[in-house]
Structure 1
Amino acid sequence: MYDVIVVGGGHAGIEASLAPSRMGLKTLLVTSNINNIGSMPCNTSIGGPAKGIIVREIDALGGQMSKTADKTYLQMKMLNTAKGPGVQSLRAQADKKAYPRYMQKVVKEQENLDLIEGMVEDLVIEDQTVKGVILDDGTTYLSKTVILTTGTYLKAEILVGHSKHASGPDQQKESKFLSGKLKDYGFRIQRLKTGTPPRVEINSIDYSKTSLQPGTNAKLAFSFTTDEYVPIEKQTPCYLTYTNETTHKIIHDNLEKCAMYSGLVKGIGPRYCPSIEDKVVKFSDKPQHQIFLEPESKEMNSIYVQGFSTSMPHDIQEQMIRTLPGLENCTILKYAYAIEYDAIDPLQLWPSLETKVIKNLFTAGQINGTSGYEEAAGQGLMAGINATLKVRNEAPLVLKRDEAYIGVMIDDLVTKGTKEPYRMLTSRAEYRLLIRHDNADERLYDYSHKIGLVKDKEYQRYQNKMKGIYDEIERLSTIRFTPKDDINEMLEQNNSSPLKEGVSAKELITRPEITYDMMLPYIDAPELSDEQRRRITILIKYAGYIEKAKRQAQKQIKMEEKHIPEDIDYEDVKNLALEAKQKLSEIRPLTIGQASRISGINPADISVLLIYLKQKYNGE
């Protein structure tokens, strides 16, 4: 008897199994291939816009992806540095060989965690409650909770041109029967699609025709515990090239041969990560599209052609790719393909990621309709945490939209659902100045320390860091400068107006062009880390905007505090629109705030519901 059984060893499965085992629960990870744990069948990048902040949140919650990425990356880059802190995030080019190898070592050495190879074909269900899993050889493992993290393997099919065959990513064995069983149990199954671009031989590219894309020359890391950084001169460069009119003509001339446009593809693909043929058709006014050339590993001779995902036949792929500047004579090591797979309707999930259909059964990752390693890992971590809390008979941890991108993602999934692979975007978050890259620890460390995923020593280190930041901000308000001070020369050098009256150091940092680091020669500063100094600049410079965002969030929090009883019968709510009754009955929102975010629910419906709750449950 296990406390938690996790099905699948991808990015969601890793976090889902590590969290309960680190919290002291007896955990089993079942995967079809132990050597495939942590594999990166598509892009080897970790992070990106919004996604990089999810990785920081995973770290602040005690997860593993951040730490492994820091140990195995080829290149690290801070994105959107010319923009405000609300949209800045890290992106790392990970090593396709080193990353899974490191993850496998972590998983194999984790206390309280057992590993077995096998394909789960069915669940043990009693009284609409999961009791364990059944493998394809008939072996049964019993458990108090089960987490499904099956990725893109459910009835997976590879599609190229007019052909398709059953297979998981990278020619791994697909899961043939589990999604059918889930449908029998009452889950709504949907068909989704994603894809991957070609890989080409690293020395077959003429890099003189491309643009160099180096990393960021700064001390950058996903994990708050990382103290070692790879200097930029030791990082592996990426390169940029573009499609052109010739590329686009080949695509247009051969659309009927593409699996996507021939009718072979039944699943819905990701709108925000389209294939190259999709881009060319939908954005016909654009003469070119960016194509990034990214190395996959120090141990491999392959380049990942980012932005060139396609399901064209192999011969057409060869014609297309050789129109790209620098790739005229490239050698294709692996052709692109599309993959279709089954997923469940995430509207059948509670915010804890426990399913509404079967008690004690949790799901995480691409089975919930998401795309991306980071989205999967974030869900896996939350499912692992909440499965543990369920075993402990404790309330689930549900992150609010003003607390984390992970909270935004899960709320979107369980409240709005998705008909296409969901991708995390900064535009989905209404409080992105509150849920920044730099402050994930301040938002989430209290939670992770309370549940036991962040230990006392690490938590004390965090507290010391934050004390140093706020003590220094307070000290800066006491340091005064006058027009006679030498600081005027620095201000003029940075195109900032010279002083005409006395101001504090803190006031100077509020100027757009001035940072805390520029002030260091004039303020006799204490020894602080790069991270602390950056945080000081952000907290001072954006204080007004941050406070405004907090006030806006407080209004939404009041809505989240108005709970809806689980036994409510929406058919009894008079004057509630028919569509509202249907949506509310299906999704069963837990709070008025969640109800207000359901598609098709309007403010009038919320007002009617509030009146009903007051009369029915307050006795008025």
Structure 2
Amino acid sequence: MFNDVYDVIVVGAGHAGSEAAAAAANMGSKTLLVTMNLQNIAQMSCNPAMGGIAKGQIVREIDAMGGYSGIVSDSSAIQFKMLNKSKGPAMWSPRVQSDRMRFAEDWRLMLERTPNLDFYQEMVTGLILEHNKVVGVKTSLGISIKSKTVVLTNGTFLNGLIHIGDKNFGGGRAGERAATGITEQLIQIGFDSGRMKTGTPPRVDGRSLDYSKMIEQPGDEIPEKFSFLPITKPLLEQRSCHMTYTSPEVHDLLRDGFDRSPMFNGRIKSVGPRYCPSIEDKINRFADKERHQLFVEPEGWNTVEVYVNGFSTSLPEDVQYKALKSVKGFENVKFFRPGYAIEYDYFPPTQLTHTLETKLVEGLYFAGQINGTTGYEEAASQGLMAGINASLKVQEKDPFTLRRDEAYIGVLIDDLITKGTEEPYRMFTSRAEYRTLLRQDNADFRLTPKAYELGLATVERLKRMEEKQAKSDAFVQFFKDTSVTPEEINPILASKKSASVKQKDKMFKLYARPNITIKDMLKVRAVHDYVESKNLDTEVIEQTEIQVKYAGYIEKEKNNADKLNRLENVKIPSGFDYSKLKSMSMEARQKLSEIRPVSISQASRISGVSPNDVSVLLVYLGR
């Protein structure tokens, strides 16, 4: 069946695997995507949504890099929201509510239309290795498939164990079996592994809910979209979500089941996600709170299935049911299925390089939850980078990495391989020290030229981005060059309770005032005429406003990034012997020997390495 040697084999077809396969195939590599069930490609295992705080920025970055997540998110969206609009643009984060079934279908159809990509349905049980190099995979039927590189994106399937109350059974997801064999082989080779936990809430019948008792959560009045490409369009109609709350009565009913909870009776020993805790964890950790928000999210355009966001639980099904019936609007609730927790194997990501290739086995890449992350978006971005680098390795080209000042994807990967993680890692804007540079609106400016050089972005996409950038730059320059008279601007300033001017002044200076918006500036005849004559769209106008209002902050962050990037250029020789640096702390020597940073900058970010340790290293390197 498999006589050819593939360039890249991707194991697992979740969000990481799908992006990895698409990237490798689109870069010209002969790629095979192997998964246990081809009907579940890019399945939304948990909530039916893409994006959110920091995650929306990642989806925009994936799209700018030529990935598929943004396009599929747009084509399957039922609601769009730009979160954090009341804050500065560095915090704005796009999010869509998705049609779960359409999302998976659109992903599969896009992958099937991708050249160089083959599919095979079966469990991969092991790797074929030769002299610390991967040369293929073995399947449960005993078939050997040869490949020059392999990307493992196993999600929650590696020795997955599902918990509902005092019951547990093997599985990688509800209704699907766990994957076995790979963990055991990797441990035998010398990899460190651990266990993590995640969970999901009950799915219920929307026909049994009383929405009149809940708070409606509509989408944006003027919805945007994820993809920078014109092939997708903003939504013309949207479906609302709803919000309700738990209560002290609900909490008491949940507590009645704590003695049967696998979280509290010791059955679950692994660590769950800090920022997406189960409902039992919430009422235990935040005992002073009388209520918690629950978001009632439709699973699609036509289905009646509803996702109860905020009620993730592994309590017994009868406890889940009694407690949820006491929530406002859920008095007559009917379950489609109870919530559950799942434990699975992961491999601490400090065992990887920046390309996501393992340090122990050449040509082997890890992406997604196998690296200890949580979330579709975090997984998809790792898959994209692993697929790119596996393809570049086969083509004997230089590897591709992103710095912390270039992308949230760069922050994510650097955090993982430099600091590691002992709990499911989730991206937040607070993790990025250059978040003013890494906005969702400029992901195409930052990354599309790089994607074009890799062969992932078309010349049409590049030209579209360059045209948008040129229009925005020209509009900014227009404000810098053009003056306005007091007679024309003062009435506008007075209406916004802003100080008047006594003489002609440059519009850039006036527009930069915090309370002056583009709507105000459009009342100036010259601005109105410029926008009309140049036919500027909302994307260009929004980009211009950000460049004018945040020019000082953006310049300051660029300068800070440039300073730190000089340390990125100070490379540490491979195989460097840290044990001989006796003036460095023991902890620093151990951590540096284990992680093997490639630069002084990366070394400085390792937990346990102090500024003094970095100074010792710089002195030794003659810097």
Q: What range is the shorter-chain TM-score in?
A: over 0.9
Letter of the 1:340 counterpart: E
Q: 1:114 aligns with which of 112, 118, 137?
A: 118
Call closer, same or farther: CA 1:216–1:550 in 2, change over 3 Å.
same
Contact 1:76–1:90 (CA<8 Å) still a contact in 2?
yes
CA displacement at 1:219 relative to structure 2: 4.1
For 2:164, the equivalent position in structure 1 comes to: 160
For 1:507, the equivalent position in structure 2 comes to: 509
CA displacement at 1:228 relative to structure 2: 4.7
Structure 2 Cα separation of the partners of residues 501 and 246 of structure 1: 66
Letter of the 1:314 counterpart: E
Tell me, yes or no, if structure 1 residue 6 matches structure 2 residue 14: no
For 2:103, the equivalent position in structure 1 comes to: 99
Contact 1:67–1:226 (CA<8 Å) still a contact in 2?
no
For 2:25, the equivalent position in structure 1 comes to: 21
Most deviating of 377-386 and 571-580: 571-580
Cα deviation code 1:144-187 (max 9, x no counterpart): 11000111000001101111000111311210221111111111
For 1:267, the equivalent position in structure 2 comes to: 270
For 1:618, the equivalent position in structure 2 comes to: none
For 2:60, the equivalent position in structure 1 comes to: 56
Q: Which runs of 5+ in 2 are unaligned?
A: none
Call closer, same or farther: CA 1:231–1:114 in 2, change over 3 Å.
closer
Cα deviation code 1:299-356 (max 9, x no counterpart): 3211100010001101100111112111111111111000110011111000110001
Residue pairs, 1:55-454, within 5 angstroms: 55-226=59-230, 228-231=232-235, 234-454=237-457
For 1:597, the equivalent position in structure 2 comes to: 605
CA displacement at 1:573 relative to structure 2: 1.9
Cα deviation code 1:411-461 (max 9, x no counterpart): 010000001110001111111111011111111112111111001111011
Letter of the 1:294 counterpart: E
Call closer, same or farther: CA 1:331–1:409 in 2, change over 3 Å.
same
Letter of the 1:540 counterpart: V
SS at match of 1:604: helix
Contact 2:129–2:135 (CA<8 Å) still a contact in 1?
yes
Contact 2:77–2:235 (CA<8 Å) still a contact in 1?
no
Cα deviation code 1:548-581 (max 9, x no counterpart): 1111111211111111110211112231211111
Most deviating of 514-523 and 143-152: 514-523
Cα deviation code 1:345-404 (max 9, x no counterpart): 111000110001101100100001000000000000000111111112222111111111
Structure 2 Cα separation of the partners of residues 54 and 8 of structure 1: 21
Structure 1 Cα separation of the partners of residues 327 and 495 of structure 2: 43
TM-score by length of 1: 0.97
Structure 2 Cα separation of the partners of residues 212 and 494 of structure 1: 32
Structure 1 Cα separation of the partners of residues 498 and 119 of structure 2: 60
Structure 2 Cα separation of the partners of residues 104 and 491 of structure 1: 54
Structure 1 Cα separation of the partners of residues 173 and 280 of structure 2: 21
Contact 1:217–1:231 (CA<8 Å) still a contact in 2?
no
For 2:475, the equivalent position in structure 1 comes to: 472
Q: Which runs of 5+ in 1 are unaligned?
A: 616-620
Letter of the 1:612 counterpart: Y
Contact 1:219–1:530 (CA<8 Å) still a contact in 2?
no
Contact 1:157–1:341 (CA<8 Å) still a contact in 2?
yes
CA displacement at 1:76 relative to structure 2: 0.5
SS at match of 2:50: strand
For 2:552, the equivalent position in structure 1 comes to: 544
TM-score by length of 2: 0.97
Residue pairs, 1:501-580, within 5 angstroms: 501-522=503-524, 523=527, 524=529, 525=531, 526-580=534-588
Call closer, same or farther: CA 1:228–1:587 in 2, change over 3 Å.
closer
Contact 2:74–2:234 (CA<8 Å) still a contact in 1?
no
CA displacement at 1:23 relative to structure 2: 0.7
Q: 1:584 aligns with which of 592, 597, 602?
A: 592
Structure 2 Cα separation of the partners of residues 4 and 552 of structure 1: 38
Structure 1 Cα separation of the partners of residues 174 and 482 of structure 2: 60
Letter of the 1:105 counterpart: L
Cα deviation code 1:223-265 (max 9, x no counterpart): 1114653446x10000011111111222233212111111111
Structure 1 Cα separation of the partners of residues 567 and 443 of structure 2: 24
Contact 2:294–2:311 (CA<8 Å) still a contact in 1?
yes
Contact 1:517–1:533 (CA<8 Å) still a contact in 2?
no
Most deviating of 297-306 and 462-471: 297-306
